[in-house]
Amino acid sequence: MIEITLFYQKKKLIGIESKGHSNYDDKGYDVICAAVSVLMQSLVFGLSEIARIPSLVIDIDDKIPLIKITWQKKYHEKISLLVQTVAESLKIIAVDNSGYVKINTEEIQ
């Protein structure tokens, strides 16, 4: 199962993590893993190359697999539309594929 965690600080989204495999299909044919991966990689690209967020922290581990992206709350207004679009898209994937994708939320102090 893919576990997606949305990290919030004072009700502002400050990070997204995708961890694990959906096991929907064989490696290379798993459309659920592909959809989540495309969204997460697009978010990395959008934040780093388009929005150029300087404090962006990206943790990637292909063996787990894991993609974790976090940023400082002060950039919330600048990137809000992008990160909310990705977060809502991930939620739709989770609702439509509840046996393969789970959404968690975590409040960071």
**At 66, which CATH number?**
3.30.70.1490
Q: What is the mean pLDDT of the chain?
A: 96
- Whether the pLDDT of residue 109 is over 90: the answer is no
Range of the domain at 94: 2-107
Q: What's the rounded mean pLDDT across residues 76-103? A: 97
- Residues 76-87 pLDDT 10s: 899 999 999 999
Which DSSP helix (H) or strand (E) runs through 16?
strand 12-19
Please tell me the total count of domains within the chain.
1
Burial of 57 (0-12, 13-18, 19+ CB in 10 A): exposed
- Residues 8-59 pLDDT 10s: 999 999 999 999 999 999 988 999 999 999 999 999 999 999 999 998 999 9
Q: What is the pLDDT of residue 55?
A: 87
Residue type, 48: S
Do strands 57-61 and 2-9 pair parallel, antiparallel, or not at all (unpaired)?
unpaired
Please state the φ and ψ torsions of residue 93, each to the nearest 5 degrees: -60, -45
Omega before residue 65 within 30° of 0, cis? yes
Burial of 31 (0-12, 13-18, 19+ CB in 10 A): exposed
Q: What is the pLDDT of residue 95?
A: 98
